[in-house]
Amino acid sequence: MALFVRDPFDGADGQQRNFVGGIRARYTTASCTDTAQLGQRVEERLRVMAAESLTPWVALGETAFRASSTRNSGETVMVRATSRSSRVAELIKSLPDARGEVAYAGPHESALVRVTDVSTEATSTGSQNLEITMRSTSRQQHSTPMSINGMSADDVFEKALRGALFGEPVENSFWGLATMEDPLEILWGRNLPDAVARSLAHALTNEVLRHQDIKGGSSTFTLGPPKANGRLLEISWFPPRRYANEPAPAERTLAGTVAPI
Looking at the chain, the whole-number percentage of residues with pLDDT higher than 70 is 83
Closest among 19, 156, 134, 22 to 79, alpha carbons compared = 134
How far apart are the C-alpha atoms of 47 and 187, rounded to whole Å?
A: 23
Distance, C-alpha 19 to centroid of its chain? 27
87 with 158, same domain: the answer is no
190 with 252, same domain: the answer is yes
- pLDDT score for 28: 66
Alpha-carbon Rg for the chain, nearest whole angstrom, is 21
124 with 162, same domain: the answer is no
Identify the burial level of 157 via C-beta atoms within 10 angstroms of its C-beta, where 0-12 means exposed, 13-18 middle and 19 or more buried: buried
36 with 121, same domain: the answer is no
- pLDDT score for 143: 56
168 with 243, same domain: the answer is yes
Residue where a domain terminates, one of 139, 172, 206: 139
Return the minimum-mean-pLDDT range out of 147-156, 188-197, 228-237.
147-156
Residue 191 backbone class (left: φ over 0; alpha: ψ -120 to 50; beta: rest): left
Residue where a domain terminates, one of 139, 168, 194: 139
160 with 246, same domain: the answer is yes
How far apart are the C-alpha atoms of 56 and 153, rounded to whole Å?
A: 32
Q: Which of 18-27, 206-215, 250-259 has the highest mean pLDDT?
A: 250-259
Mean pLDDT of the chain: 82
- pLDDT score for 25: 63
pLDDT above 80 (res 173):
no
250 with 164, same domain: the answer is yes
Domain membership of residue 147 (yes or no) is: no
Domain membership of residue 148 (yes or no) is: no
158 with 238, same domain: the answer is yes
Residue where a domain terminates, one of 139, 172, 196: 139
- pLDDT score for 250: 92
Domain membership of residue 145 (yes or no) is: no
The count of domains in the chain is 3
Instruction: Specify the amino acid at residue 156.
Output: V
Model pLDDT for residues 13-53, shown as the tens digit of each residue: 777 777 777 766 666 667 777 888 888 877 777 776 666 65
29 with 69, same domain: the answer is no
In three-state secondary structure terms, 149 is: coil
Q: Which of 1-10, 55-64, 146-155 has the highest mean pLDDT?
A: 55-64
62 with 7, same domain: the answer is no
- Indicate the pLDDT class of residue 85, thresholds 50, 70 and 90: confident
Domain membership of residue 246 (yes or no) is: yes
40 with 77, same domain: the answer is no
- pLDDT score for 136: 87
Sheet holding 220-223, edge to edge: 220-223, 231-237, 252-258
Domain membership of residue 157 (yes or no) is: yes
- Indicate the pLDDT class of residue 111, thresholds 50, 70 and 90: confident
84 to 24, 58, 129: CA distances (angstroms):
33, 16, 9
- pLDDT score for 131: 96
Note down the domain range covering 182.
153-258
Instruction: Specify the amino acid at residue 39.
Output: G
Domain membership of residue 11 (yes or no) is: yes
164 with 239, same domain: the answer is yes
Domain membership of residue 76 (yes or no) is: yes
Domain membership of residue 247 (yes or no) is: yes
- pLDDT score for 248: 85
Q: Say what the pTM is.
A: 0.67
How far apart are the C-alpha atoms of 31 and 105, rounded to whole Å?
A: 35
Across the range 199-204, mean pLDDT stands at: 89
- Indicate the pLDDT class of residue 145, thresholds 50, 70 and 90: low
